[in-house]
Amino acid sequence: MDEGRAAQAPPDESGIETADITLRGVTKRFGDQAAVDDLDLDIPRGGFFALLGPSGCGKTTTLRMIGGFEEPTAGTIQLGGVDVTDVPPHKRDVNTVFQSYALFPHMTVEKNVAFGLERKKVGRDEVKRRVAEALDLVELGALARRKPGQMSGGQQQRVALARALVNRPRALLLDEPLGALDLRLRKQLQLELSHIQREVGITFVHVTHDQEEAMTMADTIAVMRAGKIDQLGTAAELYDTPRTEFVANFLGSSNLIDASLTGREGDMSTFEADGAARLTVPSARVDAAGRGPVRIGVRPEKLALHAADAGSPAGNGLNVLLGHVTDASFLGVSTQYVVRTDGGADIQVFAQNAGAGLEQLGPGRRVAASWNPDHTFVVSKESEHAE
C-alpha cells in the first residue's frame, strides 16, 4: 500500500461504493471502564458527520480510533471497505485537525502547508500548485509568507485546515477544532467549514460537545452517551423527534410530561397526562418509543400562550395544558415563560415578541398553553439517575 494514499475499495455488486468509514463491534476499554462500547457505525462518503455528546461519552476516543491514534480493544475499522484496524496512523488515508493547531512556528504558512507533501517527495511544481489551491480555499493566499505568530487564532486554524486538506485525504477528522476560539470566530468558522466541505466533497467527521455547532454544520449527527449512540439522524430529526430523554434535553430545551396511553385511532394516539389532560400524538412516534412508561414532549417555542379566560383553544384540535404563570423573563426577541400546570409540572414557553397580547400574561395569570399535535414527540421514561 502506498503511504501517500490508502487503497480505495471498489463498488459493491449494486455499483454503489461502500461506506467511507465503517465501525463494527468497536470497543475501547481503559482498565475496567468501557469508553466506547460495542459500537457499529457507517459514515457515508462525501458528507459532514458529527459525533456529539458530553465529556466522557466516547466521541473523541471513537475519532482517535478512526485516525489510528488509539487501538480498539475489540472490533474492526474500515476505510472505504479496507480493514485498517491494525494500520498505523501515517498509513491511513485520513488527516486530523486538532483544537491545538500544532503549527511549526519557525516556518511560513506555505511551508507549514507544504510540509506533508514534501515528506512524501511530491514534485516541487505540484507542491506549489496544491499549496496555493489549499490556501485559496481557506482564503489565506495573501498571507502565505507570514509565520503563525503573526496571525490570529482563527487564521492559524485555517492554516491547520489547509495543511490537512492539501493531502487530499479520504476523510478529514476534526477534533473540536473551534474550541479555542471566541464565540464570534467560532460562528464564522462554522459557516466556512461547511462551505469548504461542500467545495472539496471530502468526508468530514467532526467531534464536538456543542449542539448548536453540530446542528449548524453537520448533515448527519450521532448523539453519544456512555460509549454508545443514543440516536443518529439529521439535525431536524433529532430536534423534532428525539427518541430518548437524553437526546431531547441535550439538543435544546424540552418540556417532558409523564403520560399514559389511553387509545389509538388510525394515525393518532391519545394519552392522559398531567392529571386529566387529553393529548394526541402521531401514532408512528408512539411506536418508535417502544413499550413501557413514556413521556410526552414538546419544544418550548412550539407552544402558544393564551389567557385561560379567553376561550379554550382545544376546540381547534390542539393539545392544551392549563395552569398559571410563575415567571416571565423578557429576552429581547422573545419572552420566556414558566407555567406551573394544574398537574404540578413546570413547562417553558418561548413566545416571540412580535406583537401585542402577551404583555398581560405575567406571574399569577391563569393561562392555557397549546400546540399542534404534530409537534409532539414521545420518549421512553428514564430513571432519574440515568446518565
Contacts 24+ apart (CB under 8 A), 134-143: 134/162, 134/163, 134/165, 134/166, 135/109, 135/110, 135/162, 137/162, 137/165, 137/196, 137/199, 137/200, 138/162, 138/165, 138/192, 138/196, 139/192, 140/109, 143/109
Domain boundaries of the chain, sorted by first residue? 21-240, 253-380
Cell match 475519532: residue? 63
CB 294 within 8 A of CB 300: no
3-state secondary structure at position 111: helix
**pLDDT band for position 9 (cuts 50, 70, 90):** very low
* Mean pLDDT within 187-213: 91
Q: Rounded CA gap, 279 and 317, in Å?
A: 10
3-state secondary structure at position 260: strand
* pLDDT higher than 50, residue 383: yes
* Mean pLDDT within 285-307: 88
3-state secondary structure at position 349: strand
In sequence order, the 6+-apart residues with CB closer than 8 A to the CB of 108 are 144, 145, 146, 147
Q: Does domain 253-380 have CATH number 3.30.479.10?
A: no
* pLDDT higher than 50, residue 220: yes
Q: Rounded CA gap, 342 and 298, in Å?
A: 17
Q: Rounded CA gap, 149 and 108, in Å?
A: 10
Mean pLDDT for the chain? 88
Asked which of 11-15, 133-137, 257-261, 358-362 is least confident by mean pLDDT, the reply is 11-15
Q: How far is CA 377 from the centre of its chain?
A: 19
The gap between the terminal CA atoms of the chain, to the nearest Å, is 43
- Fold category of 21-240 in CATH: Rossmann fold (3.40.50)
| Ramachandran angles phi, psi of 244, nearest 5° | -135, 155
Provide, for the chain, the percentages of residues in helix, strand and coil under a 3-state DSSP scheme, each rounded to the nearest 5: 30, 35, 35
Q: Rounded CA gap, 190 and 140, in Å?
A: 17
What is the pLDDT, as a whole number, of residue 315? Answer: 59
32-85 per-position pLDDT tens digit: 999 999 999 999 999 999 999 999 999 999 999 999 999 999 999 999 999 999
**Looking at 123-191, which runs of residues are DSSP E strands?**
171-175
Q: Rounded CA gap, 325 and 306, in Å?
A: 11
**pLDDT band for position 11 (cuts 50, 70, 90):** very low
- Render the burial of 76-90: b for 16+ CB within 10 Å, e for the rest: ebbbbbbebbebeee
- Per CATH, 21-240 and 253-380 having the same topology is answered no
Q: What angle do CA 169, 171, 172 make, to 5 degrees?
A: 90
116-168 per-position pLDDT tens digit: 888 888 899 999 999 999 999 888 889 999 999 999 888 888 899 899 999 88
